[in-house]
């Protein structure tokens, strides 16, 4: 299977859209992510990239009508992509390669983390950064 080319912010900066990073962590409220995305569909000039922790993804496996699969969520209006931890390491990194969480920071106008689990809140409060969502948060502090 062909690996898609790495995401580069510079390929998307002149698309005339507002760029939202919508990050979700593992909470029962994660099942509201499709509702949030659907509510935002009334804004056609919005491009959304969804970031999910592994726990958040576990809530969205197509196990019930209100918990559609990630593949379905990826087809909702305005959703440009869903990014997971493994996407940071899709290709073994060598010096000079782009870095996903840095490219996403360059791309985005706004980062929203909703829902924010107690676990991720604690990690953020302590400055811990061990997955794509917390790597992204760290970029927004600089």
Ligand X SMILES: Cc1cc2nc3c(=O)[nH]c(=O)nc-3n(C[C@H](O)[C@H](O)[C@H](O)COP(=O)(O)O)c2cc1C
**Minimum distance between the CB of residue 26 and ligand X, rounded to whole angstroms?**
3
CA angle, 57 then 87 then 80, to 5°? 75
Using the rule CB under 6 A, is 68 a contact of ligand X?
A: no
Using the rule CB under 6 A, is 25 a contact of ligand X?
A: yes
**Minimum distance between the CB of residue 51 and ligand X, rounded to whole angstroms?**
11
| Closest residue to ligand X in the complex (CB) | 26
- Of the candidates 7, 3, 34, the one whose C-alpha atom is nearest the C-alpha of residue 107 is 7
**Minimum distance between the CB of residue 91 and ligand X, rounded to whole angstroms?**
24
Chain centroid, CA 66 distance in Å? 20
Which residues inside 27-66 make contact with ligand X, applying CB under 6 A?
Answer: 27-28, 53, 55-56
Using the rule CB under 6 A, is 78 a contact of ligand X?
A: no
Among 23, 26, 37, 80, binds ligand X (CB under 6 A): 26
| Residue environment code for 99-109, b if the CB has 16+ CB neighbours within 10 A, otherwise e | ebbebbbebbe
CB 60 within 8 A of CB 28: no
Structure tokens at 121: 């809140």
**Minimum distance between the CB of residue 38 and ligand X, rounded to whole angstroms?**
21
């Amino acid at each position: 299977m062909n690996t898609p080319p790495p995401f580069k912010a510079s390929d998307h900066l002149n698309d005339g859209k507002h760029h939202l990073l919508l990050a979700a962590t593992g909470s029962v409220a994660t099942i509201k992510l499709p509702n949030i995305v659907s509510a935002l569909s009334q804004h056609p000039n919005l491009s959304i990239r969804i970031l999910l922790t592994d726990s958040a993804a576990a809530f969205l496996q197509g196990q019930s009508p209100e918990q559609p699969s990630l593949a379905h969520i990826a087809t909702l209006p305005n959703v440009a992509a869903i990014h997971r931890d493994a996407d940071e390491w899709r290709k073994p990194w060598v010096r000079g390669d782009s870095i996903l969480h840095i490219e996403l920071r360059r791309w985005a106008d706004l980062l929203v983390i909703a829902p924010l689990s107690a676990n991720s809140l604690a990690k953020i409060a302590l400055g811990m950064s061990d997955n794509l969502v917390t790597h992204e948060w760290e970029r927004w502090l600089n």
